[in-house]
C-alpha cells in the first residue's frame, strides 16, 4: 500500500471489487483505490486487507486523534450493508451535500454510481458539545434534498448508536389563544405561592382549559405560566415566550416533570390521546450528546418525541432528536 496526500493507495484486482461491490474508497484507476486511514482499518478488519506496515495504526492515530472513533462509525454503518462515501469523496461523484456533512449513506441495495444518497451523516463523541442551531440548519438543509439527517454517537468504549435530527413544527387542534385572554385572567383575584406560581381564587367560567390546573380552591398557575400572564409582555422571559408559542400553535402544554423535561404537549384535548411531544426549556437542556441521547431515549420509551426550541428569525423553531426505526439503528459489533 502506497502513501498518498489524501490517504493510502491500494492496488490490485481486489481494489476494483472493493469499489464495485461495497463503494469503499475512491477509484483512481481500474487498479488503484484511494482509502482514508479509517477505511484502511475497516478493510483490515472486515476485508482481510494487510496494513501498510506493522506500526501503522500507532502512527496513524498520532496523525489523527479521531481515527479510532471514525473507524468505529464506519464499521457501524457498513457492517449492516450500507454503502458509505466520505465527504472528501462525495464531490468526485458530483453529489450536492452540506458542508457540515461527514458522509453520504446509500442503502445495501443501492450504489453511489446509480443515484444520490438517502442520508447525510455526521458523527460526534458522546462528550461533544451539542450545537442546536448548527444541527437545526444542517437538518433543514439535508431535508430540503429529501434526505435523512443522521448523527452517529460514539462513547468511551467505542460503542456507536444512531439518531436522526429533524426540524419540527408542532401544532394542535385547540386553536390560538383567545384575544385578551391573558388580560382577562390577570384581572381575577389571586394569591402568590412559594414556588413563584399563583392560585387564582376566582376560577368560575374559566376561559381556557389549557391555562392552569384545576384545584378545589381555584386554579393553580405555575411559575412560567404566571410570568406569561402577569408581565406586560409574554416574551419577557424565555420560558414564557416558548409557552406562549406552544399555546398559539394550538397545543396544550402541561408540566413534564415526570418525563424529565419542562413540558409535555398534547395536540388534542386531555383524555383523547397521549401527548406526542416533550419540550425542554433551553436553559435546562443537555449541553452534550450524552445528555441529549438520554433525553431522546427517555422520550422514545414513553412513545413521545423530544423537542429542543431555538429562537431563529424572531420566532421559535423546534429541533427533534429521535431514535430511528428499528430497521435503521446502526451500531457496531459488540466486543468483550
218 falls within a domain: yes
**Which residue range(s) make up the domain with 217?**
176-234
For the chain, the domain total comes to 2
Least confident of 29-33, 82-86, 92-96, 216-220: 29-33
CA-to-CA dists, residue 166 to 102, 140, 230, 306, 327, angstroms: 17, 7, 34, 11, 18
Domain boundary among 234, 254, 278: 234
Look at residue 333 in the predicted model and tell me its pLDDT: 84
Rounded CA-CA distance 57/298 in Å is: 38
Would you say residue 142 lies in a domain?
Answer: no
Q: Which residues pair with 277 in a beta bridge?
A: 265, 305
Distance between CA atoms of 254 and 327, rounded to whole angstroms? Answer: 33
Indicate whether 157 belongs to any domain: no
pLDDT grade for 260, boundaries at 50, 70 and 90: very high
**Res 335: pLDDT:** 64
Q: Return the SS3 of 87.
A: helix
pLDDT band at residue 136 using 50, 70 and 90 as cut-offs: very high
162 — pLDDT class (breaks 50, 70, 90): very high
Please report whether residue 79 resides in a domain.
no
Answer whether residue 41 is part of any domain. Answer: yes
Whether 48 maps to a domain, the answer reads yes
Query: What is the pLDDT confidence band of residue 166, given thresholds at 50, 70 and 90?
Result: very high
Give CA–CA dist 175/178, Å, rounded. Answer: 8
The 10s digit of each residue's pLDDT in 46-100 is: 998 999 999 999 999 999 999 999 999 999 999 999 999 999 999 899 899 999 9
> Does residue 13 form part of some domain?
yes
The answer to whether residue 112 sits within a structural domain is no
Spell out the residues 6+ positions from residue 138 whose beta carbon is closer than 8 angstroms to its own.
98, 100, 101, 122, 149, 165
Residue 232: pLDDT over 80? no
pLDDT score of 234? 52
Q: What secondary structure letter does DSSP report for 147? A: -
Inform me whether the pLDDT recorded for 243 exceeds 70. yes
Q: Express as a percent the part of the chain with pLDDT over 70.
A: 98
Instruction: Record the pTM.
Output: 0.90
Q: Which of 45, 65, 85 is the last residue of a domain?
A: 65
Of 12, 45, 65, the residue at which a domain comes to its end is 65
Amino acid at each position: 500500500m502506497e502513501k498518498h496526500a489524501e490517504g493510502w493507495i491500494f492496488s490490485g484486482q481486489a481494489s476494483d471489487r472493493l469499489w464495485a461491490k461495497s463503494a469503499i474508497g475512491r477509484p483512481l484507476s481500474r487498479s488503484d483505490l484511494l482509502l482514508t486511514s479509517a477505511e484502511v482499518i475497516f478493510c483490515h478488519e472486515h476485508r482481510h486487507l494487510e496494513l501498510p506496515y506493522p506500526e501503522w495504526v500507532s502512527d496513524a492515530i498520532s496523525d489523527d486523534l479521531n481515527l479510532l472513533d471514525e473507524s468505529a462509525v464506519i464499521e457501524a454503518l457498513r457492517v449492516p450493508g450500507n454503502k458509505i462515501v466520505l465527504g472528501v469523496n462525495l464531490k468526485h461523484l458530483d453529489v450536492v451535500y452540506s458542508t457540515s456533512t461527514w458522509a453520504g449513506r446509500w442503502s445495501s441495495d443501492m450504489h453511489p454510481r446509480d443515484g444520490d444518497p438517502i442520508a447525510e451523516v455526521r458523527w460526534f463523541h458522546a462528550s461533544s458539545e451539542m450545537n442546536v442551531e448548527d444541527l437545526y440548519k444542517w437538518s433543514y438543509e439535508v431535508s430540503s434534498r429529501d434526505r435523512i439527517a443522521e448523527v452517529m454517537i460514539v462513547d468511551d468504549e467505542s460503542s456507536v448508536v444512531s439518531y436522526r435530527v429533524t426540524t419540527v413544527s408542532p401544532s394542535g387542534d385547540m386553536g390560538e389563544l383567545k384575544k385578551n385572554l391573558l388580560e382577562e385572567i390577570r384581572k381575577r383575584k389571586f394569591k402568590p405561592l412559594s414556588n413563584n406560581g399563583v392560585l387564582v381564587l376566582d376560577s368560575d367560567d374559566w376561559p381556557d382549559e389549557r391555562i392552569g390546573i384545576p384545584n378545589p380552591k381555584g386554579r393553580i398557575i405555575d411559575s412560567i405560566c404566571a410570568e406569561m400572564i402577569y408581565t406586560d409582555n409574554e416574551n419577557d422571559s424565555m420560558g414564557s415566550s416558548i409557552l406562549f408559542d406552544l399555546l398559539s400553535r394550538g397545543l396544550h402544554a402541561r408540566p413534564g416533570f415526570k418525563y424529565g423535561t419542562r413540558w409535555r404537549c398534547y395536540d388534542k384535548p386531555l383524555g383523547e390521546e397521549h401527548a406526542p411531544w416533550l419540550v425542554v426549556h433551553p436553559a435546562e437542556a443537555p449541553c452534550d450528546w450524552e445528555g441529549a441521547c438520554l433525553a431522546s431515549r427517555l422520550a422514545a420509551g414513553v412513545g413521545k418525541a423530544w423537542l429542543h426550541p431555538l429562537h431563529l428569525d424572531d420566532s421559535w423553531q423546534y429541533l427533534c432528536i429521535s431514535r430511528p426505526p428499528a430497521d435503521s439503528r446502526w451500531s457496531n459489533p459488540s466486543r468483550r
